[in-house]
Amino acid sequence: MTRRSDSNVRKILGTAAMALAVPTAATAATTPAPSMTDKASFSSAASKRSARANENEDAHPELFPLKLRPAATAGTEAAEKAIQVKVLDAEGRRILLARAHGNITLGPLPAGEYTLQLCSGTSMEEHALKLGAGKRGLLRYELGA
């Protein structure tokens, strides 16, 4: 992918994210406006911070990074080879496709069960992985070591 096409993809994704985040005129018209009495009163700065944190958690689902590292037994040649990473969701739909070298951080992805397919040359590995609270989100791969 060239720098220009990468920039275009980022712009498209940013526009799509904004389109999903901004309510349409129809939903804004049907949603009742909050009254002055609906606003909670806060007595301390700490309660204000916790209320803002709760609002942010409701607005955005928790996302987790996915980290891929070559196994210690794989040696330096595995870290130098380009690999193709395909991330599939629980239903087998492709969520992400990437090509990278060595240590990789993908995502962040929502919590859930994923299947990772790693390919390099003639070597291929498939791994099942769960992302979520309390999960490391780290996979060590070998690919022909």
Joined together, the tokens standing for residue 26 give: 């129809």
What mean pLDDT, rounded, does the chain reach? Answer: 75
**Span of 18-22, 30-34, 35-39, 129-133 with lowest mean pLDDT:** 35-39
Residue 114's pLDDT is 94
pLDDT digits (tens, 9 = 90+) for 36-53: 454 555 556 666 666 665
The better pLDDT of the pair 33, 44 is held by: 44
pLDDT surpassing 80 at residue 9: no
Q: Which domains does the chain have, with CATH numbers?
A: 63-141 (2.60.40.10)
Residues 6 or more apart in contact with residue 125 via CB below 8 angstroms: 116, 117, 118, 141, 142, 143
d(CA 53, CA 76): 43
pLDDT digits (tens, 9 = 90+) for 86-112: 999 999 999 999 998 888 898 888 999
C-beta separation of 66 from 72 below 8 A: no
C-beta separation of 79 from 68 below 8 A: no
Residue tagged 């992918």 (tokens): 1
d(CA 145, CA 130): 25
The better pLDDT of the pair 21, 7 is held by: 7
pLDDT surpassing 60 at residue 73: yes
Quick one: 121 exposed, middle or buried, by C-beta within 10 A (0-12, 13-18, 19+)? exposed
